[in-house]
Amino acid sequence: MDSSGAPRTTTGWAARDPSGVLSPYTYTLRSCSPCKSGKEQYCNNKIYTYGDVYTDGQLTQGCFAASMIVDQKFVVKIPEGMVVEQAAPLLCAGVTVYSPLSHFGLKQSGLRGGILGLGGGGHMGVKIAKAMGHHVTVISSSDKKRLEALEHLGADEYLVSSDATAMEEAADSLDYILDTVPAFHHLEAYLSLLRVDGKLILIGASNAPLQFVSPMLSVGRKTIAGSFIGSMKEAEEMLEFCKEKGLSSMIEVIKMDYINTAFQRLENNDVKYRFVVDVAGSNLHHQ
């Protein structure tokens, strides 16, 4: 309740029917646990930016998706001088690729790594792995992102998975692969690229079973592992690392009233590589 005894309300945007279209939605704030004075409290975190993450299916229709909210005061410590519109996608795509590299002991320089898929997570995988001193190969199903990978992101090599000759030549060459693909795909071809004790780390969210034959793991003592986002400690480490190395995510900043168009563009794969919603600068009541 506010000072007059009326329930406290706020306005957000919500999908209220199966179409998935978002529109302004006013709701009552829930109370948090009482403070020491016995007075009722509310969860009033101040949201500055919001990074949209899209994997497969329409975000607002119940398919696989996730979102990250950056709260400058309550969530993580953002390094001084880092703009919050950069912190939002880094706290999703950035920590998603940083965490497995850290957890599985793959931060040392001189490693040869593969980034499977060049999207929101993949492009940060290239940047972070290169900044760690790795030789980075981007693996894609077609040749259309070669220039982006090599010239704009600084990858060392580009491998088209449908090119049987090139894949054979690259066999047993990688220490790890970060698999960012959010859809069904066979794993055998990529397992063949790994050296002895190599690791294929799944960070793309797929709702379809993946396939491989067990000898592809046994021969070479290879590992398939999974990783999702990361810890608070890793998130803060990643932000500091990105600030130190001058790394940033490729983003497009939008206002809240553009959100439905943004979702449609995400479905059409028409963004490089993240939308960030400027919540503070948006008119949340706009129809």
pLDDT value at residue 214: 86
Q: Does the pLDDT of residue 37 top 60, yes or no?
A: no
- Sort strands 157-160 and 223-226 into parallel, antiparallel or unpaired: unpaired
Q: Express each pLDDT in 259-287 by its tens digit.
A: 888 888 888 878 887 888 887 777 765 54
pTM score of the predicted model: 0.79
pLDDT of residue 40: 46
Give the pLDDT score at 2. Answer: 53
**Using one digit for the tens of pLDDT, what is the confidence trace for 165-221?**
999 999 999 999 999 998 888 899 999 999 999 999 999 888 888 888 888 888 899
Confidence band for 63, pLDDT divided at 50, 70 and 90: very low
Q: Which of the pair, 36 or 77, is modelled with greater confidence?
A: 77
pLDDT top residue among 88 and 102: 102
Q: Any long-range contacts for 212-218 (C-beta under 8 Å, 24+ apart)?
A: 212/186, 212/187, 212/188, 213/188, 216/187, 216/188, 216/191, 216/192, 217/191
Residue 225: is its pLDDT beyond 50? yes
Q: Is the Cβ–Cβ distance between 97 and 124 less than 8 Å?
A: yes
Instruction: Give the confidence band of 139 by pLDDT, cuts at 50, 70, 90.
Output: very high
Task: Please report the pLDDT score of residue 221 as a whole number.
Answer: 94
Residues 101-106, mean pLDDT to the nearest whole number: 97
Q: Residue 130: which of 96, 161, 101, 103 has the closest Cα?
A: 101
Please report which confidence band the pLDDT of residue 31 belongs to, taking 50, 70 and 90 as the band edges. low
